[in-house]
Amino acid sequence: MPLINEQARIIENECVGPRLYLMVLQAPRIAESIEPGQFVHVKIPGMADHILRRPFSVYATNPATKTIDILYQTVGYGTDFMTTLTADEGALSEVEVLGPVGRCWMPPEHTQRALLVGGGVGAAPLYMLAEQLVETRVHTDVILGAQTEQALVCRGRYEVLLSAGTTDQVAPLCSTDDGSFGRAGFATSLVAEALEAAGQAGKQYDYVAVCGPEPLMRAVADLCADAGVYCEVSMERRMACGIGACLSCVVETTEGKLRACVDGPIFEATKVVW
Ligand SMILES: Cc1cc2nc3c(=O)[nH]c(=O)nc-3n(C[C@H](O)[C@H](O)[C@H](O)COP(=O)(O)OP(=O)(O)OC[C@H]3O[C@@H](n4cnc5c(N)ncnc54)[C@H](O)[C@@H]3O)c2cc1C
Ligand code: FES
């Protein structure tokens, strides 16, 4: 799929949780072509002294409105500045969006049972994959971890999706660091239990996808390697060009240095040298 550079109108840019914002962008051509796990490279207007684009995974698309949703966390200058953009008319009501960029999630063919693990804002890049799996009648379990209940902002959408699907788990299993919702502690304990229970029942997962902080992805990758389950991870790196030219985003792998922007961001977990 060739890269598209679209001038996208901001339809919504709302605070949805602690340091978490949902931006809805009208980007018809990207909305119809983006695959789960791919990302867009966003040029934020009004940041004269910061010319680099910022990469964001696409959380969801809406074919009716031809929009894409981005869930972003404020961590620095660019994302702080993004919160000031509005849906009102004017120079700050549009962003330039380059996409779809990168390799999408690729569950093995004939996957019947999948487990998706999202940590923090990493819950968002898994949502379109969950939609695709549920639609194709793959049994899909979801585990979400966050610091607090308020930060579990994707939980509602997953609940609606899973309750409509074929899975017998109608809500995502959740953990919070402070114990305010679900299991107290990190999501890894839920993942370990899910893999063990599935193995004991003779219904091991065919596929695990994980996105979130690197320690979470590494821990889940190790658990999957021990259980013999195929696992993919989404590697975030600081990016400059976003098109494979500058090598600022390299990931160390068993096949050498690969670029997160075009060879990833999705990688087979066993190939990543953590
Ligand atoms: C493929 C991909 C998909 C992403 N998807 C999302 C998403 O859906 N939602 C979301 O909130 N964020 C996502 N990110 C991270 C997001 O791009 C960064 O948080 C953002 O670029 C930071 O910009 P800034 O100007 O606010 O931060 P800066 O002021 O440039 O830096 C502030 C801090 O953020 C860290 N940082 C900067 N860029 C990145 C990066 N690319 N990855 C990790 N840490 C970074 C820096 O190390 C620094 O500590 C994604 C990153 C990649 C590579
Ligand atoms: S960001 Fe330039 S090669 Fe990946």
> Considering only CA atoms, which residue is closest to atom 28 of ligand 1?
76
Count the Cβ atoms, other than its own, within 10 Å of residue 117: 32
| Beta strands in 63-216, from DSSP E residues, in sequence order | 67-73, 94-101, 113-119, 139-146, 173-176, 183-184, 207-211
Which candidate, 23, 36, 11, places its Cα nearest to that of 207? 36
172 touches 143 (CB < 8 A) = yes
Beta strands 94-101 and 39-43 are antiparallel
DSSP annotation of 103: B
Residue 165 has pLDDT above 80, yes or no: no
**Which whole number is the average pLDDT over 36-65?**
93
> Considering only CA atoms, which residue is closest to atom 13 of ligand 1?
56
pLDDT at residue 90, rounded to an integer: 76
The string of pLDDT tens digits covering residues 131-152 is: 999 999 999 999 999 999 999 9
**167 pLDDT tier (thresholds 50, 70, 90):** low
Helices 127-135 and 155-164 pack at an angle, to 10 degrees, of: 10
Residue 248 has pLDDT above 90, yes or no: yes
Which ligand gives the minimal distance to the CA of 248? 2
Average pLDDT, the chain: 95
Ligand 2 atom nearest 241 alpha carbon: 2
DSSP annotation of 107: P
Same fold, 4-101 and 113-271: no
Least confident span in 27-36, 159-168, 224-233: 159-168
pLDDT at residue 92, rounded to an integer: 81
Beta strands 67-73 and 113-119 are unpaired
Beta strands 113-119 and 207-211 are parallel
**188 pLDDT tier (thresholds 50, 70, 90):** very high
pLDDT at residue 88, rounded to an integer: 81
Domain ranges of the chain: 4-101, 113-271
Q: Tokens 């890269």 belong to which residue?
A: 3
The gap from C-alpha 38 to its chain's centroid, in whole angstroms, comes to 9
The percent of residues in the chain predicted with pLDDT above 70, rounded, is 99
DSSP annotation of 254: T
pLDDT at residue 48, rounded to an integer: 73
Give the C-alpha separation, 194 to 174, whole Å: 12
**14 pLDDT tier (thresholds 50, 70, 90):** very high
**Which whole number is the average pLDDT over 9-25?**
97
pLDDT at residue 166, rounded to an integer: 66
CATH 2.60.40.10 fits 4-101, yes or no: no
Give the C-alpha separation, 189 to 203, whole Å: 19
Ligand 1 centre from 250 Cα, in Å? Answer: 15
CATH of domain 113-271: 3.40.50.80
Least confident span in 4-8, 19-23, 155-159, 166-170: 166-170
